Structure 1
């Protein structure tokens, strides 16, 4: 189906049907995850039962937060204990500053609107669950809109969104973790970024930095855009003043994304260092640049370059190997397919592709008539490619089933517009493998769009798409069941 030139793609019945499918998939996946975690929590005994112990806040030592653990409190495991404690009592201990404030503040804000008949602790738990599951549904819708706007392939965008709804880290998106809020902020920021709404993009990216520390890396999208726009203004239009203006605006926008994380570090310094006696001052307070977050990660969790490369950690590397392999394949395939575009950071993109590739040169290109014409062309290319593949399969000529037709105008996963997202994924995957606890890779990379775009792409256009589709879905389903079983009962899982 090809939309008319006068009607935007978002208003077509085709788009509305896909959006409805994404909404249903997101809701069904959350119901499934909550049902599985409840079932496994009921059938099995937790490995660690200390999570239900909730002593009074240091600021109110005489108050009792919970006298008897409730079913809701029993669902609080692993990092959820920290987030719940922060929501109730604030930042009391040094190590609690490793958990950023967006989720605790959101849960505390919703707390006052819920029924007064539940114990306070259960209300905080319920608030966090409502926020995270609602945020996941909104994140899925935003991701579908982002995929549709960037890839210009309705079917690919739909498959990618459904894959996200049932991603391997799904158990964390329905728990008291930051994954849902972070994904919502990231996808919303990315969508507004590619749609030309840079100010809204900055706002959402700043919120992502309030949820997770790696949210500051989203400033890279603005830096990428600034680099291309400044280059265009300086070398293509010979306007030095315009290039300087672009650089200044880009720097200010990037600073706004870093601001929440820096402000939180300053808050930690004020609470942990200011007004303390010399005997109480922690070592990081005396550093030239006192970064509490880095100290906590290194001192309490042993995070550092190659510090996790130990023989006893081999099972954790195996646990993370599927998502890291998918990330590696996503980056390598793009680099091999578009070497000039990849290694030149987009500066050697063919001129005829800039209308759809370098959306970073214009603040409103995705709403232009030219962009809509590109989408119409991409839909025709996809329909023609699918028809050729079906004919070849019917004839039994599997060897001639093309991986993807190569039109003069690159589109879909291999378009130039996808480049900054691929670079972002590559940097995060390397950081996870060499610096972090590698087992967190499954959830750490789960909000990276290229993973789902690439998976959707090879499932549809690769000669062995059916086999790849089976492997990808089997991996996702296995990790959903494994995560629901282990994580809900306080056993190690990513």
Structure 2
């Protein structure tokens, strides 16, 4: 384990511990808001330690986390539960029934699931930060930028969603890990990782773009080599083999990644369009909640829902349309201005990344990065840093997520949507810090009173491994860029815990 990975893991562990402690303190100190959220009745008798676990970790179960916990405990009962993909509930239930099984005499299933959230998401976050660091090293080709990006990820503005009972940490670990494997050339393993990610969140389907683009780059590179090293019929056969292999890889990989989504939609179709459950088998308290709130439950004696009659009966699209009113420009209302303001910092990072990258590489962007116009340029020896040609596809991916999230989703979700799906917000933030913060420059600053403290080891001077911690004592003397970025990350890190864990509106 390198010093950088150790520093990242240590910082990630500290931030996970602080998050769990702060959410417990803030949840106890601030009364819960009476929000109109999904709150299913408890049908299981509490055991000895349930009240203690609820007091310590109850803040992790609010808002959409309640859906994941309910699914992990009861399965998919209500129609709108199908908006939440099954991998995370399966992981939680697996932990509750295996690692936490010795506690079954003291904790109910609900209590063990809450402990599973705290332990599982903490471990998954550590995996995601290691995967992000590895991906950053191979793509950016810049050790300092990769380290700083990973440290910023540890104080992500979407922190509360990485800690609470949401699938963001799981999705980030699988996505960053899958992209790292794809960059290393392990295409099949990458497809499997990205396929599993699709079982956690629907936007895993967007990762198909990486599978289509990165192998295409490799194929073009091979063709360029064969053009100069082979002649005659051999060249034609090699060209054909490269093209056929690219097509097979793309088709097979796309199929692998989409299988979890299709299987889940089929399961939803079978559950509600050809149900095998009668209302008598549903607990009365849960059935009463469905009647009171208008939730649909499967009923073999009732008529099928209207969406079953559509040419393409996708339950997920129906839920987003009917239950969450998600659609093109539907969120563009005056009363949603506060939510747009909440999402503005993350959107600004995405816009800055796209603009700066295009400004630095206009020709490469117009060529989609697929071929080179000069023998002196190429992906084999990319320029290190944020404007590396290998970053192009990640900037495009980030921009697609930004545009879709802004125009077609509840815009306040944009913060966690992008923070768990793309490394670009952290790359551009780290790039701006290294570019504008004198305390992070290798050269000394002109003001000796604001230099980061260095330490001597064997007669050599070195800067602390964690520049974030080193900057915080000098926050007031840092550059405006540093104050803006760290202020945004840290304020959202704390505010998210305070508001979300008490049923107050957050991103």
What band does the TM-score fall into relative to the shorter chain?
0.7 to 0.9
1:37 is aligned to 23
User: Does residue 459 in structure 1 map to residue 433 in structure 2?
Assistant: yes
Is the 8 Å Cα contact of residues 54 and 66 (structure 1) preserved in structure 2?
no
CA distance in 2, matches of 1:429, 1:49: 28
- Shift, 1:204, TM fit: 1.1
1:104 is aligned to 89
Is the 8 Å Cα contact of residues 209 and 260 (structure 1) preserved in structure 2?
yes
2:364 is aligned to 341
Change (3 A) 1:39 1:248: same
CA distance in 2, matches of 1:125, 1:50: 22
CA distance in 1, matches of 2:107, 2:375: 62
Matches within 5 A, 1:32-431: 32-48=18-34, 54-55=40-41, 64=44, 66=46, 70-71=54-55, 74-75=58-59, 76-112=61-97, 113-114=99-100, 115-116=103-104, 117-231=106-220, 236=227, 238=236, 239-275=239-275, 280-349=303-372, 350-356=374-380, 410-431=383-404
Is the 8 Å Cα contact of residues 80 and 175 (structure 1) preserved in structure 2?
yes
CA distance in 1, matches of 2:320, 2:40: 24
Normalised by the size of structure 2, how large is the TM-score?
Answer: 0.79
1:3 is aligned to none
1:293-330 superposed Cα distances (whole Å, 9 cap, x missing partner)? 01100110000000111111111001100000111001
1:402 is aligned to none
- Shift, 1:351, TM fit: 3.5
- Shift, 1:104, TM fit: 0.4
- Shift, 1:109, TM fit: 0.7
- Shift, 1:340, TM fit: 1.2
- Shift, 1:436, TM fit: 0.2
Is the 8 Å Cα contact of residues 229 and 246 (structure 1) preserved in structure 2?
no
RMSD: 2.2
- Shift, 1:479, TM fit: 0.6
Normalised by the size of structure 1, how large is the TM-score?
Answer: 0.81
CA distance in 2, matches of 1:444, 1:459: 23
1:146-174 superposed Cα distances (whole Å, 9 cap, x missing partner)? 11122121111110000000011111111
- Shift, 1:353, TM fit: 3.4
Gaps of 5+ in 2: 228-234, 276-298, 441-478
Is the 8 Å Cα contact of residues 30 and 502 (structure 2) preserved in structure 1?
yes
1:368-411 superposed Cα distances (whole Å, 9 cap, x missing partner)? xxxxxx5xxxxxxxxxxxxxxxxxxxxxxxxxxxxxxxxxx522
**Equivalent pairs, count:** 423
1:480 is aligned to 493
CA distance in 2, matches of 1:326, 1:268: 37
Gaps of 5+ in 1: 1-10, 57-62, 357-373, 375-408
CA distance in 2, matches of 1:139, 1:53: 30
CA distance in 2, matches of 1:66, 1:54: 15
2:456 is aligned to none
The equivalent position to 2:415 in structure 1, one of 442, 453, 457, is 442
- Shift, 1:226, TM fit: 3.6
- Shift, 1:234, TM fit: 6.3
CA distance in 1, matches of 2:321, 2:35: 27
Q: Which moved more, 1:320-329 or 1:248-257?
A: 248-257
Is the 8 Å Cα contact of residues 379 and 389 (structure 2) preserved in structure 1?
no
